[in-house]
A and B are shown apart, each in its own frame.
Chain A
Amino acid sequence: MVLESGYKLGPVEVVYETYGQPNEDRSNAILICHALSGDHHAAGVHTPHDRYTGWWDNMIGPGKAFDTDRYWVICSNILGGCKGSTGPGSINPTSGEPFGLDFPVVTIGDMVVAQKHLTDHLQIQQLYAIAGGSMGGFQVLEWSLRYPEMVRSAICIASAAKLSTQAIAFNAVGRSAITRDPEWRGGQYNGKGPEKGLAIARMVGHITYLSELLLDRKFGRRLQSANRLSYNFDTEFAIESYLDHKGSAFTDRFDANCYLYITKAMDYFDISRSYGPLKEAFAQVAARYLFVSYSTDWLFPTDQSKEMVQALLSNGKEVSFIDIESPYGHDAFLLEEEKLTRIISGFLTGVAKEVPA
């Protein structure tokens, strides 16, 4: 496939999982788009011994928000990912070695084109819904703009029409931590590579996913294992220990080069740059939209969702908006399952109802 940058990449592999069954005309397909650190394993377990379920298991399954008794749910690993789809860790057919930094920079648009090949392969004429949070929301928006006739409804959670300056800044810190780790070796590392850098990137990321209120409530100024100050630079506060743990755990399941590529794709995402001012960009869409934001999310604040709602309303489009009161910051989209379940199952039910035009 030809990427937005002009680079020709191929052959491209896309790995995916499905849950539930397609109906006769495959009109009950729902595509789930994952965020930065997610993958195609969205629900369930692969073997009974798996310690962890898929990343959105609380939302996908029989009787859940994405009810697999009714819908055929599909989730694929993004292009540029590190869980099986073609990415910087894949073998470069021209050299026979892993791509590393020879992998082309991909965009959210490229990820969506790859997903479109998948839905064509699965013989889906139109997606009943497409849903995602954060960077998954970027893909949802891109789908609805790029293939308006393919998207019956779009669920965009804790997302935005473009990545904010502040979020780009945090991504830049994360990338610097990786590229300044000597183990990175210009991207041509073998094995684990720049684990320290990747862990720092994840630590920074984690801070942006949580709210100040939550950090205070959950950790406060508590010390991890002693009551007395240690007067040295060991991990001491509970929050330090938490971030250390999150950082090092991340290096077990994620690739550093991938982190560079995916955060870059996020940085590049800007609907206005690709499709014109929001009001014009949303003039041609056909989907029914649902936007959900969270009151304490400062990485993708409520106003950034409202901006798109306003653009859709000014085009007379079908759009709903709900802001969930939550202390969890950006991560609320993975944690506030009870409220989100009610909202999404309500919306999905409503999509089937004919509204007089």
Chain B
Amino acid sequence: MTSQYVDRLSRTDRDMILTLVPEGARVLDLGCGDCSLLNELVQKKKIRGTGLDIDGMQLINGLASGLNVFQGDLDEGLAEFPDQSYDYVILNQTLQVVKNPILVVEEVLRIGCYGILGFPNFAQWPLRRGLFFGGRAPKSPALPFEWYNTPNIRVLSIKDFFDYCSREGIEIVHQRYLIGGRWVGAAIWKKAANLLAGIGMFVITRKGPACTHREMG
């Protein structure tokens, strides 16, 4: 049951990411697992992709489809990758599982002109309700785990993410919220998203001229 939920969710994430990445972009997917998202991006968007994951054996699928892969630990930084060497760096459903999220976001913005960040919103109302009335660590389709086996060690809300971006001078170029099984992106949802959205997906960039010539999407 749990895994079905997660599969369906990751499918939904992928559909959204497919719309956010422009044709022909150079894409680095951090925490790419078996490279299936990149493979889909290669087929549908003709991107040039690299997959990175901590589990080397998972990366073999990517190798076999002609992708470049790199086994690495996000928490150690990605010093091997040069500045601004990719158009898009994807960090989907990964921010909440790393030990050093600040380091990881900094690396995303150093290596890529744009970062695509997707993460579960820990302030969605069913979770608030679960905690308030149930008095137990909350669960939802996006967060189906028990407190003792959850990989999600960083608990953040969409509001937290806004605060962080404005403090660090990170510009949010696009925002998409998964609300009631549907992705919405209109500005009017921004206020309500922290209460309603199960997942937030953002295209971010560091304010500055470095990437303007690669403006896409």
Contacts and interface: CB of A to CB of B under 8 A. Distances in A.
B108 to A, nearest CB: 16
A353 B65 contact: yes
Contacts of A352: 66
Given A347-B63, A356-B47, A356-B48, A322 B79 contact: no
Interface string B62-84: 11111111111000000111100
A304 to B, nearest CB: 13
A347 B81 CA distance: 21
A321 B79 CA distance: 14
For chain B, the bracket of interface size reads 20 to 34
A356 B68 contact: no
Contact of B61 (A318, A321, A346): A346
A323 B56 contact: yes
For B47, B57, B65, B70, the residue with the greatest tally of chain A CB atoms inside 10 Å of its CB is B70
A323 B55 CA distance: 9
Contacts of A309: 70, 80
B66 A353 contact: yes
Interface string B11-53: 0000000000000100000000000000000100011100000
Given A309-B80, A321-B71, A355 B66 contact: yes
A321 B67 CA distance: 11
A320 B81 contact: no
B147 to A, nearest CB: 29
A236 to B, nearest CB: 40
Contacts, number: 71
- Among A313, A339, A347, A352, chain B packs the most CB atoms within 10 A around the CB of A313
Interface size class for chain A?
20 to 34
B119 to A, nearest CB: 27
Given A316-B85, A323-B56, A339-B57, A355 B80 contact: no
A342 interface: yes
Contacts of B64: 345-347, 349-350
A320 B66 contact: no
Contacts of B24: 356
Nearest to B53: A322
A15 interface: no
B143 interface: no
Nearest to A319: B68
A105 interface: no
A290 B63 contact: yes
B48 A350 contact: no
A161 B203 CA distance: 38
Contacts of B67: 320, 350, 355
Contacts of B80: 306, 309-310, 313
B82 A313 contact: yes
Nearest to A315: B82
Contacts of B81: 313
Nearest to A339: B57
A324 interface: yes
Interface of B: 24, 42, 46-48, 56-57, 59-72, 79-82, 85
Interface of A: 288, 290, 306, 309-310, 313-314, 316, 318-325, 339, 342-343, 345-347, 349-357
Given A320-B67, A350-B66, 4 more contacts: A310-B80, A321-B71, A343-B60, A355-B66
